[in-house]
Structure 1
Amino acid sequence: MTDLSDPKTARELKGGTGLRRMINAVGYSVQGFRAAFRTEPAFRQLALLNMVLLPIALWVDVSPAERAILMVTPLLSLTIELINSSIEHVVDRISLELHPLSKSAKDMGSAAQFMGLVIIAVCWGVILI
């Protein structure tokens, strides 16, 4: 097993320092988007929702601040879904056995995503109605 308390080992696992680390981080992010799109139907649905809402946010006649809110809220929900999916994957990696804490972790991730959708509905509703 790798000793993660050694800063040198931890740095090597993260892919170096400086510009190399930043380039690696972008690559890891792209891999994360690909994995989410490939394995998570909810992520694909939210990506589609973003493809619909973001152009509408650019098209409607609102103030710049309102436009920013209309654009950020769907992106926020997409971000929440990435976090929710990562929680689900980690819980499943630990064990597929039914456990109250595993269920609670997954349910809270789902609740976070529900709140993201409520935020979209409230912000879009207040701004456009």
Structure 2
Amino acid sequence: MINKPKYSIWKNANYAIEGFFEVLKNETSFKIEIAITIVVWIGLFFAPMPFIAKSVLALSMFIVIIAELGNSAIERTVDLVTKEHHTLAKHAKDAGSAMVLFAVILTILIWIVTIYSTYFS
């Protein structure tokens, strides 16, 4: 068994916060996604739509952020293992990028369905 330190919710929360800010500091795409999310949230605050629709749209923005964090973790792990070009490393990074792409597509579809059901049904 691996020697692990005693579990602490405070330490684990701190690790998560450190990870978030490390990615925010070093990943341009993540900075853009956070900025877009903040602008969208401000816009939703003033949007003339029901609270539930605003909530669904606002929360859907986390899908892309979570996917980008996963992609960043994959990229860092691959870079830790090898800096050389390797087919499997490329496939891992491409899969992480695909995760973000599908998260964006899912978020757009959620927006389309929510706005359509709010205003056109």
For Structure 1 versus Structure 2, the TM-score category normalised by the shorter chain is: 0.7 to 0.9
Greater RCO, CA 8 A, separation 6+: 2
Q: Deviation string for 1:9-32 (max 9, x for gaps)?
A: 22x1xxx23xxx111011111111
Corresponding residue to 2:18 among 22, 31, 35:
31
Give 1:113 deviation, angstroms: 0.4
Specify the SS of the correspondent of 1:52: helix
What residue number does 1:55 align with? 42
Length, aligned pairs only: 116
**What TM-score does the superposition give when structure 2 sets the normalisation length?**
0.86
Q: Deviation string for 1:60-119 (max 9, x for gaps)?
A: 233343222201211110111001000000000000111111111110110110111112
What residue number does 2:108 align with? 121
**RMSD, matched Cα:** 1.5
Residue pairs, 1:79-118, within 5 angstroms: 79-118=66-105
- Structure 1: runs of 5 or more not aligned: none
Specify the SS of the correspondent of 1:112: helix
CA distance in structure 1 between the partners assigned to 2:44 and 2:63 by the alignment: 14
Percent identical residues: 23
**What TM-score does the superposition give when structure 1 sets the normalisation length?**
0.81
What residue number does 1:69 align with? 56
CA distance in structure 1 between the partners assigned to 2:24 and 2:78 by the alignment: 19
